[in-house]
A and B are shown apart, each in its own frame.
Chain A
Amino acid sequence: QVQLVQSGAEVKKPGASVKISCKASGYTFTYHYVHWVRQAPGQGPLWMGLIIPEDGRTTYAEEFRGRVTVTRDTSTSTVYMEVDSLTSEDTAVYYCARERPYGGKYFFDHWGQGTLVTVSS
């Protein structure tokens, strides 16, 4: 069965970086785009960016461009997201999600379990 398993919770100080992993299994890794979504406490989900596992191309939301880097390792079917220059506003649960295309558009049919990142001095 399709699974996305994320790395564990992180506690970081302001100004630090964090790198979260998302290991995919149960499907052909290069066939589906992987997106990152974050959810701050009490807020709705916020899209951050995506990676095309087949060739590594990325697209980022404008507010995260230059501060977020998404990469992948096809040998281990793992996607990584690194967020730099953390502030308290980056405290959130971060999710990876698999894209399932339809009719040229898409939905997220499988999600990781989430990784809580806490930024605190």
Chain B
Amino acid sequence: DIQMTQSPSSLSASVGDRVTITCRASQTISSYLNWYQQKPGKAPNLLIYAASSLQIGVPSRFSGSGFGTDFTLTISNLQPEDFATYYCQQSYNNPPHFGQGTRLEIK
């Protein structure tokens, strides 16, 4: 199985800040990396697919990059609605493991 490791596990930031979350795969996954946002009591919501492609309807302050084993999700100009938990997920092969999550909290 390909394991996904996110860092940090939690992060405090203020409205207007720029934050970066990293995700590392235990072996190369090319660009088959997806990012999801999850709010309490809700299902995950797709933000980024193929490492850097923005899902339709997602604000452009979200961006993704990376290839191989190391990936980043960047949120620029944080908005109040962005405080949530973020997960990466590989779709290179089955099982499509998720990272353990990064909880983004208001400072």
Question: Which of A's residues lie within 8 Å of B, judged by CB?
Answer: 35, 43-47, 50, 59, 61-62, 95, 97, 102-103, 105-109, 111-114
Contacts and interface: CB of A to CB of B under 8 A. Distances in A.
B94 A45 contact: no
7 contacts: A44-B98, A45-B87, A46-B98, A47-B96, A50-B94, A112-B43, A114-B43
B43 A44 contact: no
A105 B92 contact: yes
Instruction: For chain B, give the interface size range.
Output: 20 to 34
Given A95-B43, A109-B55, A112-B43, A102 B98 contact: no
Given A105-B32, A105-B91, A105-B92, A47 B46 contact: no
A45 B43 CA distance: 10
Interface of B: 32, 34, 36, 42-46, 49-50, 55, 87, 89, 91-92, 94-101
A111 B49 contact: no
A80 B84 CA distance: 30
Contact of A61 (B49, B55, B95, B100): B95
A47 B97 contact: yes
Contacts of A50: 94
Contact of A111 (B44, B89, B95): B44
Nearest to B101: A44
Contacts of A44: 87, 98-101
A79 to B, nearest CB: 15
A45 B92 contact: no
Nearest to A59: B94
A108 B44 contact: yes
Given A50-B94, A107-B46, 6 more contacts: A44-B98, A44-B99, A47-B95, A59-B94, A95-B44, A102-B50
